[in-house]
Homo-oligomer: A and B are copies of this chain.
Amino acid sequence: MALFGGKKHQAFLGMDLGGSNLYSVAFDFELKPIFHSKIDTEAREGYLHVIDRVALQIQELKKRLEEEGYDLAGIGLGVPGLVQSEHGNVIVAPNLGWSQCKPVRDMDLPQELKDLTVLLNDVNAGLLGELHSMADQPSCAVAYFCGTGIGGALALNGRLIEGSLGAAGEVGHMVVRSGGRKCGCGRKGCLEAYIGKWALNDQIQKALDDKKKTRLKSLISYNLKKQPVKSSSLKKAYEKGDSFTTELMEEYYCHYLAIGISQTANCLAPDCVVLGGGIMEAMGEYLLPVVRNELEALCIGPPPRLQLAELGDLAGPLGAAISARRGGALA
Write the residues of chain A forming the contact surface with B, with a CB cutoff of 8 angstroms.
82, 91, 139-140, 154, 156, 161-171, 173-180, 185, 187, 189, 256, 259, 262-271, 297-302, 304
Distance in angstroms between the alpha carbons of A140 and B156 in the assembled complex = 13
Distance in angstroms between the alpha carbons of A22 and B171 in the assembled complex = 39
Q: Are A270 and B163 in contact (CB under 8 A)?
A: yes
Copies of the polypeptide in the assembly: 2
Contact among B166, B259, B268 for A267, CB-based, below 8 A: B268
Chain B contacts of A301 at CB under 8 A?
82, 91, 163-167, 170
Chain B nearest CB, measured from A277 CB (Å): 18
Q: What secondary structure prevails in chain A residues at the interface with B?
A: loop
Chain B contacts of A300 at CB under 8 A?
82, 167, 170, 173, 185
Chain B contacts of A180 at CB under 8 A?
177
Chain B nearest CB, measured from A191 CB (Å): 10
Q: Are B161 and A268 in contact (CB under 8 A)?
A: yes
Distance in angstroms between the alpha carbons of A71 and B300 in the assembled complex = 40
Chain B contacts of A162 at CB under 8 A?
269
Chain B nearest CB, measured from A259 CB (Å): 5
Distance in angstroms between the alpha carbons of A148 and B71 in the assembled complex = 62
8 A-B pairs with the lowest CB-CB distances in the bound complex, closest first: A163-B269, A167-B301, A167-B269, A168-B269, A170-B266, A164-B269, A170-B300, A173-B266
Chain B contacts of A179 at CB under 8 A?
177
Residue of B nearest to A168 (CB): B269
Residue of B nearest to A298 (CB): B187
Distance in angstroms between the alpha carbons of A164 and B91 in the assembled complex = 32
Contact among B165, B168, B185, B263 for A174, CB-based, below 8 A: B263
Contact among B140, B189, B256, B262 for A164, CB-based, below 8 A: B140
Residue of B nearest to A301 (CB): B167
Distance in angstroms between the alpha carbons of A114 and B22 in the assembled complex = 58
Distance in angstroms between the alpha carbons of A174 and B162 in the assembled complex = 21
Chain B nearest CB, measured from A196 CB (Å): 14
Chain B contacts of A269 at CB under 8 A?
162-170
Chain B contacts of A266 at CB under 8 A?
167, 170-171, 173-174
Distance in angstroms between the alpha carbons of A171 and B185 in the assembled complex = 23
